[in-house]
Structure 1
Amino acid sequence: MFIQLSAGSFYAWAIFNNGFMLKTGGVVKMVNGAKKIVGGLPAASVSFTFTLGMLCLSLATLAGIPLAKKYGIKIVNTIAAIIYGLSILGLTMIGKGSSIWTLWLFGGVLLGAMNGVLYLTSLTNAIKWFPEKKGLISGICVACYGLGSFVFKYIAMWVAGGNGVINASNIGRVLLWWGILALVLAVVGSLLLKDAPEVVAAPSAAEAKSENVNFSTSEMLHTPQAYMIFFCLMTACMFMGLLGAAVTNMAAAWTQSPKDVSIWAGSSAAAFFVAVVAIANTIGRFVMGWLSDITGRKPVFFITFIIQLLTLLALLMTKPGDMSMGMIYTVVMAMAFCFGGNITVFPTFVSDYFGLRDTSRNYSVIYQGFGIGAILVGFLMASGNPLNPGKVTLANGAVLTQNFPLLYKVLLVMVIISLVIFAVIKKPVKKA
């Protein structure tokens, strides 16, 4: 739980976007009657750090699982925890003249990769300890992961002082506290870990009845179900890519007038959306993890993906700037709740379809959809160029460097395809 709390704090990244823009030389100016941050690193490039981190997170799981099996989970997680904390502390060096590549290295590559090792190795190890309660255990672990951003958001506001807004003058102090707390939590949690036995407990009655068969990773990749689940996971994770990287900017663009979008996105009111995401995300993990053990996994996916479909329709059918605060809260909470539920149920869904024996390796491969989905979000929001994102004019005249309408439309199509997949997918039959 300590490890998951520490790693989950990464999902509060959105509260730092304006702070990094200002720290790297940006200043607030009036442009065509609207307050904007001029200079510094572009908003889309800064928010792309989070999506890059999600890609590295998923890629690192491919190495983390076999390394933990070879050297022991305690050793691997302790090393990852130290690098994770030092990566956050490395972000304190970002300032005027800093390259976007420096931000991407510490905040994206290193922070994301170590996050992936910490998150998935401890999660799959916990599932192996309690195979008869996979949904519940997965829910508890990933709920702590989701809770990390909620807890840290308020710690960050307290450290920032004043109204809690992170800016050029206090971002270094906030990053220092984040790094120290994340390092201590992750290291302590890692030292308490113990490898789960390879010979797990007897399967549950439901598993015995379904004659669950174990697939190796190679065998899994020869089934169409693996790629169908991969696509659905990628779709589900794109919602977190959106919320984690740019929830404050999204809320600002859909509720504020064009002249207020840029500044409101960096306000304490906007930062509260990070807490909303964390709360809904955590509740979704508990509720859907528990529900999946009762109803099965597919009914849970139908519920979450239909809700996500409705949130996208609400955003596409509402003119930017015209959405009420109540409605945007509902949309954001629904997206976060569904993501929390989905990311909790997917590991158990994979083990249901391909067996428990190789669930760590199998899920680490399927989990690459997490990173690919995140990168796809980053490129779509940056109109295809995170280094030099093009400007997008919304229907109300607001000018952004984040292409939300394009992302919504692509996600809408992907959610519909995912619902079709869940309607037709069946457990694979292992060839003799």
Structure 2
Amino acid sequence: MKKTNRYIVAISGIVLHLMLGSTYAWSVYRNPIMEETGWSASSVAFAFSLAIFCLGLSAAFMGRLVEKFGPRVTGTISAVLYALGNILTGVAIDRQELWLLYFAYGILGGLGLGAGYITPVSTIIKWFPDKRGLATGLAIMGFGFASLLTSPIAQVLIADFGVSKTFYILGIIYFVVMFVVSQFIKRPTEEELASLSKASTTKHSTTPAEKGMTANQALKTKEFYLLWIMLFINISCGLGLISAASPMAQDMTGMSAEAAALMVGILGLFNGFGRLLWAALSDYIGRPLTFTLLLVVSLIISALLLVAHVPIIFIIAMSLVMTCYGAGFSLLPAYLSDIFGTRELAAIHGFALTAWAMAGLAGPILLSSTYELFNNYTTTLLVFIVIYLIALLLSLYLTRLVKKNT
């Protein structure tokens, strides 16, 4: 029987996430959509928020589908839904139908994002039991970096063909690429799994890769909910800071609008690199210590932002926070596999990602509401510091539980 090259599986997963992560380039489309349709900025922005919300919620049941039908099927479903969502977004702009924008990009596109995001991660972990953190870090890094690839391409297409045709063109490209790479994302056979597990040198897993709990069993444990809350806090604070990075920089350091826009681009790089670097580190020092360290860094940097009135210090501080924000996504599946095994990892990971759906609403709302109440970002940062401290205490408690079970 022909053996599958595990690196082909990993590269296919990275490419799939590169296509899906293009959703982070939504801000490129905002002004052209507003000019063509006359819709308000908040109306256009809501389509993106709805897509992220649907991503988080759909990941829960899509994880079940990965376990039942395999990653090829869910990858293909993702290709169809995400491509169709983008193409119908073009139709919505042409016809100036706001409800269709929400249905196409927010719901169909969001469901496609959820199906595709969950598809490769648990599969790649099964192929790399010796490097769980690095493997998932690489795949999820693709999602973080995608906007750097998509933004310039989308800008050129919009200038040459207009915004609605851009969605038609990209929708077709997404479908072809995602459909093709999904066919290479397959689970290891029993024989391959046994061989990989025998060769594995994983030190930090409490559960053998090929064994573990079902999703229903995992949902009855304290460990799952501790991780869920930690992820929710990390994403809420990270998204809150991302959503106001530019105005915060201008308000707190006197940075120009142009410089602040450049800073936002730099933050995207650190968001992507953070997913890989922290995850790779976790293979050496363990997931519990890594998650605790990133929360300590977030706590210290949030405090530094209170007094960072010099632009360069503010940029460095925000960049470090962004590595921690991105790291939460890449550490999660490896951490879950350490505790619960990979038996139904896709389903467990899917349920955990509901924290992303909730945080996508909570983070930006928390930041904007505290700013409106107190008319400064100081109070907001103080609130974030308290919340990060709660997450840190929970992480220390979870570390103790994990050690007890080792």
Q: 1:123 corresponds to which letter in structure 2? A: V
Q: Distance in 2 between matches of 1:409 and 1:106?
A: 38
**Residue aligned with 1:215, SS:** coil
Match of 2:197 in 1: 202
Alignment of 1:268-347 (within 5 A): 271-317=261-307, 323-347=309-333
Q: How much has 1:226 moved relative to structure 2?
A: 1.3
Q: 2:197 corresponds to which letter in structure 1? A: A
Q: Distance in 1 between matches of 2:294 and 2:307?
A: 20
Q: How much has 1:63 moved relative to structure 2?
A: 2.2
Match of 1:415 in 2: 388
Query: What is the aligned residue count?
Result: 385
Match of 1:144 in 2: 142
Deviation per CA, 1:359-403, whole angstroms, max 9, x where unpaired? 22222212211111112124435649xxxxx977844xxxxxxxx
Q: How much has 1:13 moved relative to structure 2?
A: 2.3
Q: Distance in 1 between matches of 2:138 and 2:289?
A: 20
Q: Distance in 1 between matches of 2:314 and 2:28?
A: 18
**Residue aligned with 2:131, SS:** helix
Alignment of 1:66-215 (within 5 A): 66-95=64-93, 98=96, 101-161=99-159, 170-197=162-189, 200=193, 201-202=196-197, 204-206=200-202, 210=206, 214-215=212-213
Contact 2:228 2:352 in 1 (8 A): yes
Q: 1:133 corresponds to which letter in structure 2? A: K
Q: How much has 1:207 moved relative to structure 2?
A: 5.0
Alignment of 1:386-401 (within 5 A): 394-395=375-376
Matched, 1:8 2:21: yes
CA gap 1:243/1:75 in 2 versus in 1, 3 angstroms: farther
Stretches of structure 1 that go unaligned for 5 or more consecutive residues are 26-39, 163-168, 385-389, 396-403
Q: How much has 1:137 moved relative to structure 2?
A: 0.8
Q: Distance in 1 between matches of 2:135 and 2:260?
A: 33
Deviation per CA, 1:72-119, whole angstroms, max 9, x where unpaired? 322321132122022122222455995654433333222222111111
Contact 1:6 1:183 in 2 (8 A): no
Q: Distance in 2 between matches of 1:304 and 1:152?
A: 28
Match of 1:400 in 2: none
Contact 1:143 1:282 in 2 (8 A): yes
Matched, 1:376 2:334: no
Deviation per CA, 1:28-81, whole angstroms, max 9, x where unpaired? xxxxxxxxxxxx4243x5434333322211221222222233333223211321
Q: How much has 1:288 moved relative to structure 2?
A: 1.1
Q: Distance in 1 between matches of 2:64 and 2:299?
A: 37
Q: Distance in 1 between matches of 2:157 and 2:186?
A: 34
Q: Distance in 2 between matches of 1:430 and 1:89?
A: 51
Q: Distance in 1 between matches of 2:292 and 2:202?
A: 21
Stretches of structure 2 that go unaligned for 5 or more consecutive residues are 1-13
Q: Distance in 2 between matches of 1:180 and 1:378?
A: 32
CA gap 1:104/1:220 in 2 versus in 1, 3 angstroms: same
Alignment of 1:358-373 (within 5 A): 358-373=344-359
TM-score (norm 2): 0.81
Q: How much has 1:231 moved relative to structure 2?
A: 0.3
Contact 1:277 1:336 in 2 (8 A): yes
Contact 1:152 1:178 in 2 (8 A): no
Q: 1:286 corresponds to which letter in structure 2? A: L
Percent identity over the alignment is 25
Contact 1:129 1:197 in 2 (8 A): no
Contact 1:47 1:245 in 2 (8 A): no
Q: Distance in 1 between matches of 2:236 and 2:87?
A: 28
Q: Distance in 2 between matches of 1:22 and 1:53?
A: 22
Match of 1:32 in 2: none
Q: How much has 1:12 moved relative to structure 2?
A: 2.1
Q: Distance in 1 between matches of 2:110 and 2:404?
A: 35
Alignment of 1:11-30 (within 5 A): 11-25=24-38
More helix by share: 2
Q: Distance in 2 between matches of 1:405 and 1:96?
A: 43
Q: Distance in 1 between matches of 2:252 and 2:101?
A: 28
Match of 1:227 in 2: 225
Q: 2:122 corresponds to which letter in structure 1? A: T
Q: Distance in 2 between matches of 1:130 and 1:176?
A: 37
Contact 2:148 2:268 in 1 (8 A): yes
Q: Distance in 2 between matches of 1:250 and 1:103?
A: 30
TM-score (norm 1): 0.77
Q: Distance in 1 between matches of 2:45 and 2:243?
A: 5
Contact 1:13 1:244 in 2 (8 A): no
Deviation per CA, 1:341-365, whole angstroms, max 9, x where unpaired? 2211111111112223222222221
Q: Distance in 1 between matches of 2:99 and 2:254?
A: 32
Q: Distance in 2 between matches of 1:353 and 1:344?
A: 15
Q: 1:371 corresponds to which letter in structure 2? A: A
Match of 1:41 in 2: 40
Q: How much has 1:276 moved relative to structure 2?
A: 1.9
Q: 2:145 corresponds to which letter in structure 1? A: L
Deviation per CA, 1:280-337, whole angstroms, max 9, x where unpaired? 122112211211000111222222222222343344456xxxx544244323322221
Contact 1:255 1:325 in 2 (8 A): yes
Q: 1:214 corresponds to which letter in structure 2? A: G
